[in-house]
């Protein structure tokens, strides 16, 4: 790739993402090889030596233009592709709208998890609706970090567990999160871990250990969504919160408050799941040729 690499940097409630425009196919060769794209993503996401981010997003053309405006590939900073990222999707929506890629204020995104719809709301909040959660399991018992845990599990694009705690401020997220994330119960891929304190009906505080980042992040969109869904089920919250009328409010490590809307049907199926995240446009930039060359160098790729 000879042309300069330009990017946008946005943050969804503290979850920061590098966004790259691949609508002309300029990154297709990089994306074609898992080893190569993995090295590229790791290089750019590394804090201190790269741009630094919780994830990287390639935005391309959709396979089916009738159903989606853009095709999206989310990558974790360890170079692995994620099926879905809630806050990343919110960042992408604001970027696409401000770049003029869509005619209105709504963006349809084609992801490995399905079509994700997002729209601009008020006060920089982005409203994103994700595919229905799956594989819901309550009371999953594991022993990790010398503790017995009772977890709720669900896949909201990516796999998550909810660990209920009395005080999120006293949680050893790094140690406990890593232990649960790597537990054999969730092998081989692992699981994201959301330590969740119930502050009241419809209100939670959440700290998340994210795989791929392998550390606590300031927010996690799909993790906050999972915590809201599973807490509502576990504690039998009233219909105000389970019929899509009022949002569950999630206080995250960045200090922002995310909002989650959903509908729990009579048979327990959860549908119409939507997340609102506060998106900040941080900056646009151009990689220095030295960093571009390091990210694209093929000597790291094993054929």
Given the residues 19, 91, 220, 274, select the one marked as catalytic.
220
Percent of the chain with pLDDT over 90: 92
Percentage, residues of the chain above pLDDT 70? 97
Q: Give the CATH fold of the 134-268 domain.
A: Diaminopimelate Epimerase; Chain A, domain 1 (3.10.310)
Reply yes or no on whether the pLDDT at 98 is more than 90. yes
Please give the Cα distance from 47 to 51 (Å, whole number).
Answer: 6
Residue that is written with structure tokens 């594989």 in the block: 135
Question: Catalytic site residue 220?
Answer: yes
The residue annotated as part of the active site, out of 19, 45, 85, 91, is 85
Structure tokens at 140: 């999953």
Residues 26-75 have pLDDT tens digits of 999 999 999 999 999 999 999 999 999 999 999 999 999 999 999 999 99
| DSSP string covering 127-187 | EEEEPPPEEEEEEEEEEETTEEEEEEEEEESEEEEEEE-S-GGG--HHHHHHHHHT-GGGT
* 134-268 has the same fold as 6-127+282-300: yes
Q: Where are the domains of the chain?
A: 6-127+282-300, 134-268
- pLDDT for residue 1: 62
Per CATH, the homologous superfamily of domain 6-127+282-300 is Diaminopimelate Epimerase; Chain A, domain 1 (3.10.310.10)
Nearest to 12 by CA among 287, 201, 182, 208: 208
Question: Residue 278: beta bridge partners?
Answer: 125
Q: Which helix (H) or strand (E) holds 81?
A: strand 81-82
pLDDT tens profile 254-269? 999 999 999 999 888 9
301 in helix, strand or coil?
coil
Residue 91 annotated as catalytic: no
Confidence check: pLDDT of 162 > 90: yes
């Amino acid at each position: 790739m000879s042309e300069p690499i330009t990017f946008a940097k946005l943050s969804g409630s503290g979850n920061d993402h590098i966004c790259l425009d691949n609508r002309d196919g300029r990154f297709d060769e990089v994306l074609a090889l898992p080893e190569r794209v993995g090295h590229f993503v790791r290089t750019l996401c590394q804090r201190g030596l790269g741009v630094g981010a919780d994830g990287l997003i390639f935005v391309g053309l959709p396979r089916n233009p009738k159903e989606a405006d853009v095709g999206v590939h989310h990558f974790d900073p360890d170079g692995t592709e994620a099926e879905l990222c809630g806050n990343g999707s919110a960042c992408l929506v604001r970027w696409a709208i401000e770049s003029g890629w869509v005619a209105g204020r709504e963006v349809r995104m084609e992801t490995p998890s399905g079509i994700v719809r997002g729209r601009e709301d008020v006060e920089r909040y982005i409203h994103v609706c994700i595919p229905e959660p799956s594989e819901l399991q309550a009371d999953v018992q594991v022993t990790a970090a010398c503790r017995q845990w009772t977890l709720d599990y669900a896949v909201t694009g990516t796999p998550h567990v909810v660990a209920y705690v009395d005080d999120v401020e006293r949680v050893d997220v790094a140690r406990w999160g890593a232990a649960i994330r790597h537990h054999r119960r969730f092998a081989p891929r692992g699981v994201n871990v959301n330590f969740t304190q119930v502050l009241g009906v419809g209100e939670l505080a959440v700290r998340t250990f994210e795989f791929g980042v392998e550390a606590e992040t300031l927010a996690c969109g799909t993790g906050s969504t999972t915590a809201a869904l599973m807490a509502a089920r576990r504690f039998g919250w009233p219909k105000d919160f389970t019929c899509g009328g009022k949002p569950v409010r999630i206080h995250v490590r960045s200090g922002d408050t995310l909002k989650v809307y959903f509908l729990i049907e009579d048979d327990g199926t959860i549908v119409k799941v939507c997340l609102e995240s506060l998106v900040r446009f941080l900056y646009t930039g151009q990689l220095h040729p030295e960093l571009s060359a390091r990210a694209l160098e093929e000597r790291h790729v094993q054929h």
